[in-house]
Amino acid sequence: MITRSRFPRRAIIVVSALLAAVTGSVTTHAQVPQADGPRPEVCDDPTNSLSLFAENMGGGRIGYGRVPGKASVPGPTLTMNEGECLQVTLVNDSDKRLSMHAHGVAYTPSSDGTPTNAGCVAPGRAKTYVFEAPAPSTRPDGTVDPGSAGYWHYHDHCMGTTHGTGGIRKGLYGALIVRRAGDPLPDRKPIVLVMNNISFNNKTAPHTPLPQVNQGERIEFVVIGHGELMHTFHLHAHRWVDNRTGLAATVRDTDRIIDNRTVGPADSFGFQIIAGEHVGPGAWMYHCHVQGHSDLGMEGLFIVRTPGGELTRETKAAIRRYKNQHEGGHP
């Protein structure tokens, strides 16, 4: 529920605090009149808050992490539900200016994460960003506000250039999932694959992710593009629907069913599959289908174990062959 705030934020905090003192609870979204013109309809009180720590990693990489010393590429997957508001405090433990810029959600200029809107964080400093995931609704004119549910992402927008080109190149990116009420939840943490120049997650085979899951589990993939190149993402032996969730609404659904999708810079999509459905356990390749890119190492394995969690002999042999094919690959 969003409001047009008509008082400065400081006043809203005071009002909220007073209400909390009186009623023992905090209002989620203050409703106050407007004095100084319209301002963006972004929440004032977060539903959830968390910290991200950006820091230098090995191999010239820089990543985001949930706790100091645990940065990763990609950074932590952030998840919101439509209607929620997320506050993220970014702590810059690296030696370069950086930020966090989110796709798909709503924010005021101060949470834009760009140099233009003074959203960068100097080394040793911290900054708090606030993001809202609007829910769909009907506007007064009868048209539809589509909401914000989707497979989105966040990334640096300050390092190297005003577009964060240097930060993205070094690994400052991650997935942001906004769910709609009723969306099915996966059985495991989402598998996030970022096609960043000639790499998945800044790695080439055989160092790309090799996620292992059990046959029959509901598995969620999030695929994101970054860098300078156009890619195509292909997953072997599985298929999904080319829509918001990757899921068919009914058995008569007419949306296109695909197993390969174009991914340009900052494109993102996701889907859920049942691991090994119709095909069983195996080492199932995922790769960029631009042939020259896959030949340069843009590939990995989606490893489906038996329902009981065992690797079959055939799967083990395939993993060995895959590793042998890529001996000497770049870490």
Is position 224 an interface residue for Cu ion (rule: CB under 5 A)? no
C-beta closer to Cu ion: residue 170 or 293: 293
C-beta closer to Cu ion: residue 165 or 232: 232
From the list 20-28, 108-116, 201-209, 225-233, the region that binds Cu ion by CB under 5 A is: 225-233
C-beta closer to Cu ion: residue 54 or 288: 288
Which residues are bridge partners to 21 per DSSP? Answer: none
What is the phi-psi region of residue 70: left when phi exceeds 0, alpha when psi lies from -120 to 50, beta otherwise?
alpha
C-beta closer to Cu ion: residue 143 or 291: 291
Number of residues engaging Cu ion in binding (CB under 5 A): 4
Share in percent of the chain as helix, strand, coil (round to 5): 15, 35, 55
* Cα–Cα distance for residue pair 285/138, rounded to 1 Å: 43
User: Where are the extended beta strands (E) located within 58-138?
Assistant: 62-65, 78-81, 85-92, 101-102, 126-132, 137-138
Angle made by CA atoms 198, 204, 208, in degrees to the nearest 5? 125
User: How many other CB atoms sit within 10 Å of the CB of residue 99?
Assistant: 27
Is position 288 an interface residue for Cu ion (rule: CB under 5 A)? yes
Per-residue contact flags (x/-) with Cu ion for residues 289 to 308, judged by CB under 5 A: -x--x---------------
* Cα–Cα distance for residue pair 186/134, rounded to 1 Å: 22
C-beta closer to Cu ion: residue 127 or 169: 169
Inter-residue contact 203 to 331 (CB < 8 Å): yes
C-beta closer to Cu ion: residue 65 or 206: 206
From the list 31-39, 157-165, 239-247, 281-289, the region that binds Cu ion by CB under 5 A is: 281-289
What is the phi-psi region of residue 150: left when phi exceeds 0, alpha when psi lies from -120 to 50, beta otherwise?
left
From the list 8-16, 200-208, 209-217, 226-234, the region that binds Cu ion by CB under 5 A is: 226-234
Rounded least distance, CB 232 to Cu ion, Å: 7
Rounded least distance, CB 13 to Cu ion, Å: 47
C-beta closer to Cu ion: residue 73 or 105: 73
Is position 121 an interface residue for Cu ion (rule: CB under 5 A)? no
**Which residue from 164, 167, 154, 176 is spatially nearest to 102, judged by alpha carbons?**
154
**Residue 82: both structure tokens together:** 């439509």
From the list 141-149, 172-180, 280-288, 320-328, the region that binds Cu ion by CB under 5 A is: 280-288
Rounded least distance, CB 103 to Cu ion, Å: 20
* Positions in 227-246 near Cu ion (CB under 5 A): 231
Q: Name residue 320's amino acid.
A: R
Interface residues with Cu ion (CB under 5 A)?
231, 288, 290, 293
